[in-house]
Structure 1
């Protein structure tokens, strides 16, 4: 006897199969976009993202109508992950330096600072702006823990931490040697955050100057 649900099962399976494939493509696109924008900047061609993701340009544009939409989506995902890592650092046992080092290593691995070079080239959605303020406050708490227990040098600021993450987020990751060099340099940098150490050169960085870069759109050629 013929199964009356057979047709629906095949149709449903096909639909769910297409949905699963679309989700896999989206993950590949987002991963590729983060890498391409991190290393090539705002002028990176969308074709380079599609090529790295292994999808067609049409597939990419069906999901994201413009480069700006793609950047906004990446920022939303990035700040959500940053907040999660900061909360995990605050909940973890150990010294303040260990919590800070764990957070920074996770942020660099996720390329959380990949879009600093793109500041002012696209608009940030309001929810991302609000989330950025939450992340800043959490980062202050993580750093304060290290200052309070004396394991992180007193002259380090949250903006110093942000700059370190941004620099390492743009480090190329084309080969195993690239990855090894990045990890070694990050380990050296993290060790430099420990207390005590000699003082840092120059004035303390200012959040107002940093935020101004995002608030004032750049002139595009």
Structure 2
């Protein structure tokens, strides 16, 4: 029993390392990211990866499911907060933090599993509740939708300046770049508050995010 528990714990640690590594490698290589590159970044042998996952698609499908779990946890934590505005802010900040390296480049390159669909639906529902609470409290501007929030998180998770400095090996500027990014996040969050001028254009459809995951095998 102890050995089985230890194996499960090791597998969970490997999964976390693979998820972090996949985000970093995908940010660099896009959809061309290889299992070998992800395994090397995670410090895990590629043979170990293929003992658990038969194909690259199976690996990335599992990592997408793990990533969605993080979104669920962040949203549930936000809903547990008494203050609707602080709950929404908690979700956005948490989602931005773990989405710094995104699995988005895999969109359209792998089939969406039932597990991924179920967890994505769960995230959508929780985010809808977060937004509805903040609207009801009068703290979130009335023209902001849950899709707006998802798009905002996707944009805020990226820091071109931080990425550029990392590629240049400018560790001396890393702290300043992170502080600047934190300021941008706070500025953006303040723009969500009620009382601001109306947003331009029509509210984005949820399809704008979901349709890109339609599986289209390479030609």
TM-score if structure 1 supplies the norm length? 0.80
Alpha-carbon spacing, 1:117–1:163, altered in 2? closer, same or farther (3 Å): farther
Counterpart in 1 of 2:144? 156
- SS of structure 2 residue aligned to 1:42: helix
The number of equivalent residue pairs is 208
Contact (CA 8 Å) 1:38, 1:170: kept in 2 or not? Answer: no
Any stretches of 5+ residues in structure 1 without a counterpart? 1-11
Aligned-CA RMSD value: 2.7
Contact (CA 8 Å) 1:39, 1:170: kept in 2 or not? Answer: no
Map residues 98-137 of structure 1 onto 2, 5 A cutoff: 98-111=86-99, 114-137=102-125
Note the alpha carbon deviations across 1:181-201, whole angstroms, 9 max, x for none.
432222221111111112222
Superposed displacement of residue 20, structure 1: 5.5
Contact (CA 8 Å) 1:120, 1:213: kept in 2 or not? Answer: yes
2:128 maps to 1:140: yes
**Alpha-carbon separation, structure 2, partners of 1:145 and 1:98:** 11
Superposed displacement of residue 98, structure 1: 1.5
Contact (CA 8 Å) 2:24, 2:101: kept in 1 or not? Answer: no
Note the alpha carbon deviations across 1:137-172, whole angstroms, 9 max, x for none.
111110111111111111111111111122233446
**Alpha-carbon separation, structure 2, partners of 1:202 and 1:88:** 32
Contact (CA 8 Å) 2:135, 2:141: kept in 1 or not? Answer: yes
Note the alpha carbon deviations across 1:111-137, whole angstroms, 9 max, x for none.
188233322111111122022112111
Contact (CA 8 Å) 1:168, 1:186: kept in 2 or not? Answer: yes
**Alpha-carbon separation, structure 2, partners of 1:141 and 1:15:** 39
Any stretches of 5+ residues in structure 2 without a counterpart? none
Larger fraction in helix:
2
**After the TM superposition, which parts of structure 1 deviate over 4 Å for at least 4 consecutive aligned residues?**
12-23, 172-175
2:189 maps to 1:190: yes
**Alpha-carbon separation, structure 1, partners of 2:59 and 2:103:** 12
**Alpha-carbon separation, structure 1, partners of 2:68 and 2:100:** 7
Counterpart in 1 of 2:75? 86
TM-score if structure 2 supplies the norm length? 0.81
Superposed displacement of residue 38, structure 1: 3.9
**Alpha-carbon separation, structure 2, partners of 1:16 and 1:131:** 26
